[in-house]
Amino acid sequence: MSDWNPSMYESARRLLRSTGGVLNVPSSCIDSAKLLILSISDEVPSMILEPEIHSLGDKEELFFETNSGVSFSFSTLEPRMETCWVKSEDGGIEGIWENFCEVTLKLARAGYPGCVGCGGPGSDEEWDEVSARLAS
């Protein structure tokens, strides 16, 4: 099993629980983002409203927006506390994106969100972003 941090799992869970939204990714990740959403649709047919995918061009960040705001962010800059943050290093967004795709598909194949106990580490507790940021 890969050693993904808890914020990566929480970001994947947030995407899998979403209905719609906008997944903003660097242009280098557009094709794999489309493939990820297609794969999620295959694994979780109940996900009716797939997120839109928008390109951020050459920006080295990635974030998912819903009507409530930014749900999760992979970036070097710390977002608001309501946002689940996976801290990235300059020039390293593609590696984080690949890990995110792996953990998201792992959870989808396990039946998340329609299962009990299959959401990975921390899925049975309320998410604590403050503690997650202190631990990283």
**Residue 89: φ, ψ to 5°:** -100, 155
Rg (CA), the chain: 14
47-51, 67-71, 123-127: which is most confident:
67-71
Of 84 and 135, the structure prediction assigns the larger pLDDT to 84
Alpha-carbon span 133 to 55, nearest angstrom: 27
- The predicted pLDDT at position 11 comes to 97
Half-sphere exposure of 112 (CA within 13 A, CB side): 24
Q: Cα angle at 105 between 64 and 47, to 5 degrees?
A: 65
Domain segments of the chain as ranges = 6-135
Residue 120 burial (C-beta neighbours within 10 Å; 0-12, 13-18, 19+): buried
**Residue 62: φ, ψ to 5°:** -155, 135
Q: Which of 1-5, 93-97, 118-122, 131-135 bottoms out in mean pLDDT, i.e. has the lowest?
A: 1-5
Look at residue 1 and tell me whether its pLDDT is greater than 50.
Answer: no
Q: Using the Cα atoms of residue 41, residue 17, residue 50 and residue 89 in order, give the sign of their dihedral.
A: negative
Q: What percent of the chain has pLDDT over 90?
A: 62
